[in-house]
């Protein structure tokens, strides 16, 4: 972990306009939970818990988490390569492995802060007898999911200059559309894996929330995918080339 690179990456990721949009998106999750709380539409029963589970799974895990990780994961290294500032980090006696590890760590921490914190707070606000357990379970699962997403998106940003577009296509087409149509495609969905972690951690009643993917499958696939993404990152970083302007 290189602290200078970490500080620059942190400021770089947080100074973008997109980050404000992400804060806004996290705010929406909180606002929905808050409105539910003050609307008086809380009986304190299973319906509250079901609402909380729906809110955290759809707005939190399915929407907020992939978008945040997409922006931070592709932005940490990919944006620097695209803009040309990567030269100042790569032309230094710092190992490429250290650069990649630092940038990925910062992307993961930022993603967790902008995903797990709103999910935790929204879960606590939203209510229901299992609300706190759901809040903690979904927040921790979102942290793990964010890490897997960031690893994938960072690897993608080192493979293609259009990582954001491909990443968005994965989230919107594969995870939102195909995973709903074909059970097999859910196995390779980070969202489904994260929901499986959330169900295992929060242990909600089956009529409140149930994950589609078995926990064992989710763990194995998530570990394999993350390891593969890291391997690609390390390999690409070692061979990365910067051509500069053609002059």
Partner 1 sequence: MTAPVELAAVSRWYGNVVAVNEISFELRAGVTGLLGPNGAGKSTLLHLIAGFLAPSAGTVTVDGHPAFGDPEVYRRIGLVPEREAVYPFLTGREFVEANARLQGVADPVGATARAIEQVDLSDVQDRRVGTYSKGMRQRAKVAAALVHDPSILLLDEPFNGMDPRQRLHTMELLRSLGENGRTILFSSHILEEVERVAGRILVIVAGRLAASGDFRSIRRLMTDRPHTFTLRSSNDRGLASALLDEPAVSGVTLDDGVLVVRAADFGTFSRAVSGRARRAGISLYELLPTDESLESVFSYLVRG
Nearer to partner 1, 11 or 203 (CB): 11
Number of residues that bind partner 1 (CB under 8 A): 30
- Distances from the Cα of 91 to the Cα of 67, 84, 132, 240, 242, angstroms: 31, 12, 48, 12, 11
Pair 160, 166: CB distance under 8 Å: yes
- Distances from the Cα of 10 to the Cα of 65, 76, 103, 152, angstroms: 18, 9, 9, 19
Q: Is 20 in the site for partner 1 (CB under 8 A)?
A: no
Nearer to partner 1, 7 or 203 (CB): 7
Q: Is 87 in the site for partner 1 (CB under 8 A)?
A: yes
Nearer to partner 1, 92 or 210 (CB): 92
Which of 91, 181, 182, 206 is in the footprint of partner 1 by CB under 8 A?
91
C-alpha closest to that of 19 among 63, 75, 58: 75
CB of 6 to partner 1, least distance (A): 11
Chain positions 187 to 246 lying near partner 1, rule: CB under 8 A, are 238-239, 241-246
CB of 242 to partner 1, least distance (A): 4
Stretch that binds partner 1, among 17-25, 27-35, 40-48, 81-89 (CB under 8 A): 81-89
Torsion of the alpha carbons at 111, 112, 114 and 119, rounded to the nearest 10: 140
Which of 43, 47, 58, 85 is in the footprint of partner 1 by CB under 8 A?
85
Residue 128 zone, left/alpha/beta (φ > 0; ψ -120 to 50; rest)? left
C-alpha–C-alpha distance, residues 240 and 173, integer Å: 29
Q: Is 8 in the site for partner 1 (CB under 8 A)?
A: yes
Stretch that binds partner 1, among 90-98, 180-188, 198-206, 213-221 (CB under 8 A): 90-98
Nearer to partner 1, 181 or 246 (CB): 246
C-alpha–C-alpha distance, residues 179 and 199, integer Å: 18
In the shown chain, the binding pattern of residues 92 to 111 toward partner 1, with x for contact by CB under 8 A and - for none, equals xxxxx---------------
Q: Is 1 in the site for partner 1 (CB under 8 A)?
A: no
C-alpha–C-alpha distance, residues 233 and 30, integer Å: 34
Crossing angle, helix 131-159 and helix 215-239, to 10 degrees? 30
Contacting positions for partner 1 (CB under 8 A): 2, 4-5, 7-8, 11-12, 15, 83-85, 87-96, 238-239, 241-247
């Amino acid at each position: 972990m290189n602290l200078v690179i970490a500080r620059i990456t942190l400021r770089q990721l947080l100074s973008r306009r997109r980050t404000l949009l992400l804060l806004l998106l996290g705010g929406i999750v909180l606002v929905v939970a808050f409105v539910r709380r003050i609307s008086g539409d809380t009986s304190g029963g299973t319906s509250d818990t079901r609402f909380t589970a729906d809110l955290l799974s759809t707005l939190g895990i399915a929407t907020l988490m992939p978008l945040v990780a997409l922006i931070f994961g592709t932005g940490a290294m990919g944006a620097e390569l695209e803009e040309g500032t990567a030269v100042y980090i790569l032309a230094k006696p710092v190992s490429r492995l250290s650069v990649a590890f630092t940038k990925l760590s910062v992307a993961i921490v930022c993603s967790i802060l902008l995903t797990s914190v709103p999910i935790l707070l929204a879960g606590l606000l939203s209510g229901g007898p299992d609300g706190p357990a759901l809040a903690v379970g979904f927040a921790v699962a979102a942290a793990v999911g964010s890490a897997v997403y960031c690893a994938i998106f960072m690897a993608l940003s080192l493979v293609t200059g259009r990582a954001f577009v491909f990443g968005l296509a994965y989230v919107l087409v594969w995870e939102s559309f195909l995973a709903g149509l074909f059970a097999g495609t859910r196995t390779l969905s980070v969202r489904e894996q994260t929901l499986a972690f959330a169900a295992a951690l929060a242990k909600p009643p089956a009529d409140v929330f149930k994950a589609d993917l078995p926990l064992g499958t989710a763990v194995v696939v998530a570990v394999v995918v993350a390891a593969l993404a890291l391997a690609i990152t390390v390999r690409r970083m070692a061979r990365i080339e910067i051509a500069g302007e053609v002059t």
